[in-house]
Amino acid sequence: MTVRTRFAPSPTGYMHIGGMRTALFNWLYAKKHGGKFILRIDDTDQQRNVDDALAPILQAFRWLNLDWDEGPEVGGDYGPYFQSQRSDLYTAAADRLLAEGKAYRCFDTSEEVQADKEAARENGTPPAGMRRSLELSDAEIQQKLDNGDPWVMRFKVPQDRKIEIHDEIRGHVEWDAALMFDPNIMRSNGSPLYNFATVVDDAQLKITHVIRAEEHLSNTAIQVLLYEALGETVPTFAHIPFVMAPGTKKKISKRDVEKYRKSPAFKILFDLSNQVLPQIGLDEGALNPVMVEFYEQTGFLPAGLLNSLGRTGWSFDETTEFMSLDFLIENFSLGRVVKASAAFDPEKLMSYQAHWMNELSSDDRTERCTPFLQKAGLLPADPSEDDLAKVSKVVESLGDRIKVASDILTYGYFFKDNIEYDAKAFKKRVKKGNVPELLGEFRPVLAELSEWTLESIEAALQQFAESKEIGTGLLINALRIASTGSPAGPGVYDCLVIVGQETVLTRIDAAIEKATAG
């Protein structure tokens, strides 16, 4: 038996981070067992623009390198892979259940059903009146049909039994069928409800392992009954805990982004968002950390996100933290999924991200940073070789200071004509004692350097400091602020070399002027 797993997103216009984790576990399980991973689109409720609403979802999978064996764009033997195109399947299955007496037409109004359920709830009994449509004679039914009375199809729950499953993560779970209501499986307009459609689809797609969020656990009882009624093999279930929002006990949800915006647990992500999005021409509200696209657009590595997703609700052993996708494929198992729900942890994501960024060669990092400079207008769309060489130099000197690719924007001073001074640092390092004078005296030394290299500048500075009988730190710090405006960054000599002799001299002049002005 080949393992077949699936993920069935609705085209909502974005890929949910929690859904991505569920998809990842499905994908991993299929890969690990040499099986197939299927993408099916649950678009029954969707109006138009399915393509537009689906695009970001497919893009998220592509970005993370999670390919699908069957589904949109790639097709497959069990298509179509859009629920909206599979209505025949649902109708046929429903008709069969009806013919076999396993389902019935329910003519009750929704008010009547509601009342039945409420009464049942109060009494703690199964809903008694609910099956009154079953009392109808064939003639009465025909009469109602002829009248055009609306009806829905209900599945007749076999009440004298228990439903038991062995969930790969929860273990043995059972329900008492006597307590269940007959579920609606087809709407009055002939379209299927989720619980029914998903069973028909999973059976027809030969899904062997249904790995999904635990919120579906209660749905499983009715689904098992449906599989049996349809004469299909019940798949193996694995209900994984859902992903909670950091700092909460609630499922992470797009509805709550405004709350997240103020939450300390989300701070690093929204700080990044606020800093980066405007610079790359995106509206601040356009993307948020609930969406996978957010991580792509702010310069995370697939490896970073994947490591984080793979480690929330799953572990390999007591010490392994850094896991590549290959490692995950090799070692993933449902048995090691944690039962309790886990909060997505932005801090930890950053630490994984930093790790994988450091694994990259300087050239790879440069390649990832360049587009951000372009989007921010700090580099032309068609950069010259000199431009690229400069980016490369900057990235190399920045080393592990770049955690996400968009961090390059923090060091925009290498690419701008006008720099902004960090006020505190300027006061502490430049506008202090005789520093402006020293800078003034050192300027001509720099101006006269015929060679502008790390070594020549360092030698000149050391000699100058010695002659003045001052520590090198004084000048070094002053030069950093004067030439970059910022207290953070690569070594000063790197900075000076990259900024360039001419610009350094101009900036020193500007700094001296600013320091002595007021």
Q: How far apart are CA 179 and CA 479, in angstroms?
A: 77
Nearer to RNA, 333 or 467 (CB): 333
Task: Tell me the CB-side half-sphere exposure of residue 360, using CA atoms within 13 A.
Answer: 27
**Minimal distance, residue 103 CB to RNA, in Å:** 14
Q: How far apart are CA 80 and CA 70, in angstroms?
A: 10
**Minimal distance, residue 303 CB to RNA, in Å:** 15
Is 254 part of the annotated catalytic residue set? yes
Nearer to RNA, 235 or 485 (CB): 485
**Minimal distance, residue 285 CB to RNA, in Å:** 24
Q: How far apart are CA 250 and CA 18, in angstroms?
A: 12
DSSP for 139-160?
HHHHHHHHHT---EEEE----S
Q: How far apart are CA 250 and CA 459, in angstroms?
A: 59
The Cα-based distances of 387 to 362, 378, 383, 390 in angstroms read: 16, 10, 6, 5
Nearer to RNA, 201 or 375 (CB): 201
Nearer to RNA, 284 or 347 (CB): 347
**Minimal distance, residue 48 CB to RNA, in Å:** 16
**What dihedral angle (degrees, nearest 10) is formed by the CA atoms of 48, 53, 55, 56?**
170
**Minimal distance, residue 348 CB to RNA, in Å:** 4
Contact between 292 and 16 under an 8 Å Cβ cutoff? The reply is yes
**Minimal distance, residue 154 CB to RNA, in Å:** 9
Beta strand 342-343 pairing with 236-240: unpaired
Nearer to RNA, 318 or 385 (CB): 318
DSSP for 372-404?
HHHHTTSS-SS--HHHHHHHHHHHHHHGGG-SS
Which one of the listed residues 254, 259, 348, 514 is annotated catalytic? Answer: 254
With the C-alpha atoms ordered 105, 109, 114, 117, is the resulting torsion angle positive or negative? negative
Instruction: Give the residue carrying structure tokens 């032309």.
Output: 380
**Minimal distance, residue 314 CB to RNA, in Å:** 7
Nearer to RNA, 95 or 359 (CB): 359
**Minimal distance, residue 209 CB to RNA, in Å:** 18
Nearer to RNA, 204 or 351 (CB): 351
β-sheet bridge partners, residue 71: 75
Q: Which tokens belong to 124?
A: 């703690």
Q: Which residues of 488-500 are buried (b: 16+ CB within 10 A; e: fewer)?
A: ebbebbbbbbbbe
Nearer to RNA, 140 or 174 (CB): 174
Q: How far apart are CA 142 and CA 158, in angstroms?
A: 25
> What is the CA 215 to chain-centroid distance, rounded?
19
To 5 degrees, how large is the angle CA 130–CA 132–CA 138? 140
Question: Where in the sequence numbering do the catalytic residues fall?
Answer: 254
